[in-house]
A and B are shown apart, each in its own frame.
Chain A
Amino acid sequence: MTVHVAGIGRTRYGRDERSIPEMVYEAVTAALADAGVTRDEIDSIVTASIDLFDGKVASSVLITEVVGAVMKEEARVADDGAAAFVHASAMLLSGRKETVLVVAHAKNSEADADALTAWSTDPIHMQSLGLNDLTAAALQADAWLAQGGDPDAMDAVAARRLGVAPAEVASSPVIAEPLREKHRAPLVDGACALVLTCDVRRATCDVGVSGMGLCVEPHYLGDRDLIGCPAAQKAAEQAYRMAGWRPEDVQLVEISAQFAHQEILWTRALRFAEDDGRRSVDGGAINPSGGWFAGNPYVVAGLERIACAAEAIRTGTARRVLAHGCWGPAGQGHAVVLLEGGR
């Protein structure tokens, strides 16, 4: 049995003055239309959202109607949307569901993301020190520089993704040493929805899920190999094993990196730069979409990477692609999804 990505829908990513339900509805209806299915044909819905980003308790409650979950099954995965995708695919592979809708949303224009992510760090040992996603990433970047990481490469990644000169990155204001403003992807608002199906009669597009992996690292920053990113490696290993692929089989990679150095680290951890350290910077095969730097919300970023990877197959740009999602301080959780065309 193969899970297919049958429909893709998303909002424009940017500052959005709509309410969350209004925003999510656009992405869902676009995905249903793209897949050519109606709400009645959806067996189950998997959503991804985080209460503190929404500022509301049980953050899937207010979107119940717009995702079509009234009197249906819905499960909320409170991690990145890529993890929700993996869970939805597992539901389909169980043989008990034919068509599942996956939806991720967040509005990062509504609150200071760093103030919010402070509440994701260990409240006993880390939160009172001022750890959050930004400062954790800064420590990770400095640890990488300590091991010979090239600051120019960091500037070059950001410059390429943002379409600006490296000097502009290098002269942008420091947000947390050694990170500058333009080393970080813009955090915006938006929603992304995918329709997955294992009903081949219904599969309107030719994108199959060949492999998946999920992995989490230790939480305490001092316990972690912040440079090797073993969770990204292991998530990829699971996915490659499931698909029977090797890294060299992959023609295009969509990586979720909110910070420039993370794109370099994740790329290596996913086994793409072993024989070509510059590929992550210059190779068009990595993040042709612009990645997270094109501007994504938290939670949505990983699902959007999968959507971009599926679109690359649809447009014939690549036949075998890898999409990656990550969440938590300095990328504690990772998801890898391998998609293939022509199955």
Chain B
Amino acid sequence: MKEQNAGYIRHRMGLAWEMSPGATFSAFHAFLEAGKLAGLRCTRCRKVYLPPRPVCGDCYMPLSEWFEVSDRGSVEGFTVSHHPILDPVTGSARPTPYASLLVRLDGASTSINHYLRGADPRTAAIGMRVRAVWREPRRTLMDLLGFEPTGGGEDAAFPRPLEAPDLKPAARVQVNLDIPFAYAVGRGGRWFCDGLRSGRILASRCGACAKTLVPCRSFCPSCFRRFAESDLREVGPGGAVAAAAGAPSPPLGLIRLDGADTLFVHHVRARRGVRVTALFKPTEERRGDPLDIEAFVPVEASA
């Protein structure tokens, strides 16, 4: 991830989803509240799937037989991670080191990946017996805090059949994603952004198709010709609003800038047809991005 260097435009993804757990996870959550870890068993191949899911992928059979699996199991695989990643749930880096386990719960045909808890990460080993550690009350798998070492062998009592749950409409689960991105403006973008810093709007003149394209760019999209710095042309800052739209959000316009053959997109404070000019931010506030232009305003207002 690129940090605060010039030549990048940053956007923060602050998005939220209201995701449906659906019938399968709603039932799983209902069982969990009753203290049971529940999977779905395929009537044909008899695999017990955890997490539960609508269909057995091998048999293409819809799954409907609920079985309880144990909250104890065996470690099938593990790692001790020293590599912090930005957690997509929290948006911050995970502390290291930590041990990640792949655990086969007694009675399940699939495994679950989670953390080792209550033990030195270096003690993780294949075949180690572990038990789920919960935060009460148990509502979703977010309340599973990890697995701690435990004694004993495999519990043959699992899987054991469960009554099909009485399904109630499940509430949606909010899922957020709040992480930063930084996009390199590149060769063409750098010309353009440097131009904005000096209060100029730059376009590229294509010698082959005889068009002046704004914003300037590093190649012609029509004839694929590579543009050089010598192809740069200053256009505007005056022009006419060809279309204006968007209110109640900040109105956007398509602006026919003087000297350009294509339209420029930006904020406008004028209606369609009005002569406008670029209102630049004061030099010291410019950062070399499109928002260095505050908006296009009527020529009279700018005077």
Contacts and interface: CB of A to CB of B under 8 A. Distances in A.
Direct A–B contact in the complex, CB atoms closer than 8 angstroms: yes
Interface of A: 16-23, 25, 39-40, 52, 55, 64-66, 68-71, 107, 109-112, 115-116, 119, 123-131, 135, 138-143, 145-146, 174, 176-179, 218, 220-223, 226
B60 A68 contact: yes
Nearest to A177: B247
B245 A128 contact: no
Interface string B182-225: 01011001001000000000000000000001110000010000
B23 interface: yes
Dominant secondary structure at the A interface: mixed
Contacts of B264: 222
For chain B, the bracket of interface size reads 35 or more
Interface string B282-296: 000000011100000
A300 B159 CA distance: 39
22 contacts: A17-B169, A18-B22, A19-B23, A19-B24, A20-B20, A21-B22, A21-B54, A22-B24, A22-B54, A25-B55, A39-B60, A66-B55, A123-B181, A128-B11, A128-B290, A135-B246, A138-B252, A142-B243, A142-B272, A177-B247, A177-B251, A222-B214
Contacts of B29: none
Interface string B218-238: 000100000000000000000
Nearest to A109: B18
A279 B242 CA distance: 28
Given A116-B15, A129-B265, A65 B53 contact: yes
A131 B20 contact: no
A119 B11 CA distance: 9
Given A55-B177, A129-B267, A176-B249, 9 more contacts: A17-B170, A17-B172, A25-B62, A55-B19, A65-B53, A131-B265, A139-B252, A222-B264, A223-B263
A284 B215 CA distance: 43
A145 B181 CA distance: 36
A25 B290 CA distance: 45
Contacts of A125: 189, 192, 215, 265, 290
Contacts of B20: 16-20, 107, 110
A174 B248 contact: yes
B259 interface: no
B118 interface: no
B9 A123 contact: yes
